[in-house]
Structure formats: C-alpha cells, structure tokens
Amino acid sequence: MTLKLHCFGESGNAYKAALALELSGLDWEPIFVDFFNGAARTDAFRALNPMAEVPVLVDGETVLTQSGVIQLYVTEKTGRFGGTSPEDQREVLRWMFWDNHKLSSVAGNTRFLMNFLPEDKRPADVIAFQLGRLKAAYGVLEAHLAGREWIVGTAPTHADFCCCGYLFYPENFGFDRAAWPHIDAWLSRLESLPGWKHPYDLMTPARPENRRDTAKG
C-alpha cells in the first residue's frame, strides 16, 4: 500500500520525512496541504492531526506525526538511515534531538518571521535574536563536519536529513552556504545522492511563486 505524506513544499519538517521516504525506496506519495490558505485547520485535517501541522504520514490504519517519528518508521520498515550499530543509533538520535532543538526549529521560525509575515509586521529584535542562535548552531554543525562526509558514520542517516531540513530553501534566513565550507560540501554531497530532490520539487509548494514544473502532489 502506498504511504501517504500530507505535506507542502515550504515545510522543512515535512522535507525531512519526504527525503527519507524518497531515498528509502518505499512506495510513497505526497498529499498537498494548502497550508497558508488554512487547509491544516479544517475539521477533516484536525481529525488526522489535532495539532493542525504537517507532516502527517498515513499507512493504512497507522497515522504518525512529528517528522522524527516518521523518519524512525522508515527505519522500522526498511532498516535504513537509523545507524548500523548501537553507538551509531544513539548518535543518530542525538543529532535528531539537537537539530530539533537548536537548528531546524529556529531556522523554520526565523524564515517564517523574515519572509512569510507582511513586511511591516516582522519583529526586528526577535529576528536578530534568532539569527544569533542560528549562527551558533551553524558553527556547531560546521565544526562537526570537518573531516567527515556524513554526520554519523560513513553513510547518510536521519541525522543528515534532519539537519539539512531548511538549508536548501532560497528564502533569506541568514544562512549563506558559502560562509560555511564544511556545511557547503556536505549539502553538495546530499544533492548528489541518487534520488535527491529539492523540497520544491519533492513536494508541492503552497506559495505559487515557489512552484516548479516538476512539483508533485
């Protein structure tokens, strides 16, 4: 049965799950959620996820939310991307929790404040504060990737899919790849993986200006 991922292109959290699904070989399809027009706040969607958020994975009777849970379900079904030893499994989880706390949640929030709010409603002090926290997070990731191809072990894992969740987006949220050489090389490595797709190609963007010809779902 085809796994269904309710998502939209601008959601970095959805991208983490979608990228893991796409690279896993599992049979899946994206189901577009017209998020900025309120599609996640309908009664029907809230019946699926009371938190009115994406991503949501539907596998028959099983409904899962939180990108990390969906990613670990991919591992449950395929054995892939979760780390190949107990130590590596803990390392993958460590980076998934770190990303959730320090990188992707701040990046997503900052990107929203800087791009998806009307220009006269963007809180300058809050944005400056978040940009400072992001810079610290980039520094941690940059240092970790020195002399390393992947965040954990010698192959891509959910640690990589989590940490890259927002880093391919073109909108300005203070991230300039060229300023972080190890991160830049690692992102290129991800882009070179057979089957890799940009978020706006893997899932339909909700904002028309982000749509590309090859968008699915």
Provide, rounded to whole angstroms, the least separation between the CB of residue 72 and a second copy: 7
CB of 19 to a second copy, least distance (A): 17
What DSSP state is assigned to residue 78? H
Cα 210 to Cα 194: distance, rounded to the nearest angstrom: 23
Considering beta carbons, is residue 76 or 209 the nearer one to a second copy?
76
Sign of the Cα pseudo-torsion (151, 78, 97, 105, in order): positive
Return the number of the residue (105 or 210) whose C-beta is nearest a second copy.
Answer: 105
Rounded (10°) CA dihedral 183, 185, 186, 190:
130
CA distance 23 to 39: 28
How many residues touch a second copy under the rule CB under 8 A: the total is 27
Close Cβ partners of 156 (under 8 Å, ≥ 6 residues apart): 23, 81, 150, 190, 193
Which residues inside 97-156 make contact with a second copy, applying CB under 8 A? 97-98, 100-101, 105, 123, 125-126, 129, 140, 143
**In angstroms, what is the minimal distance from the CB of 66 to a second copy?**
4
- For tokens 């803990």, the residue is 90
**Which listed residue (31, 39, 66, 171) binds a second copy by CB under 8 A?**
66
The b-or-e profile of 18-34 (16+ CB within 10 A means b, else e) is bbbbbbbebebebbbbe
Nearer to a second copy, 126 or 179 (CB): 126
Question: Smaller CB distance to a second copy: residue 144 or 197?
Answer: 144
Question: Minimum CB separation from a second copy for residue 123, in Å?
Answer: 6
Q: How far is the CB of 147 from a second copy (least distance, A)?
A: 14
- Residue 56: phi, psi to the nearest 5? -130, 130
- CB under 8 A: which stretch of 15-23, 67-75, 196-204, 206-214 binds a second copy? 67-75
User: What angle is formed at CA 17 by the lines to CA 13 and CA 18, rounded to 5 degrees?
Assistant: 105
CB of 213 to a second copy, least distance (A): 33
Exactly one of 39, 93, 122, 174 binds a second copy (CB under 8 A); that residue is 93
d(CA 145, CA 141): 6
Q: Does 78 bind a second copy (CB under 8 A)?
A: no
Question: Would you tell me which residues interact with a second copy (CB under 8 A)?
Answer: 50-51, 62, 64-69, 72-73, 87, 90, 93-94, 96-98, 100-101, 105, 123, 125-126, 129, 140, 143
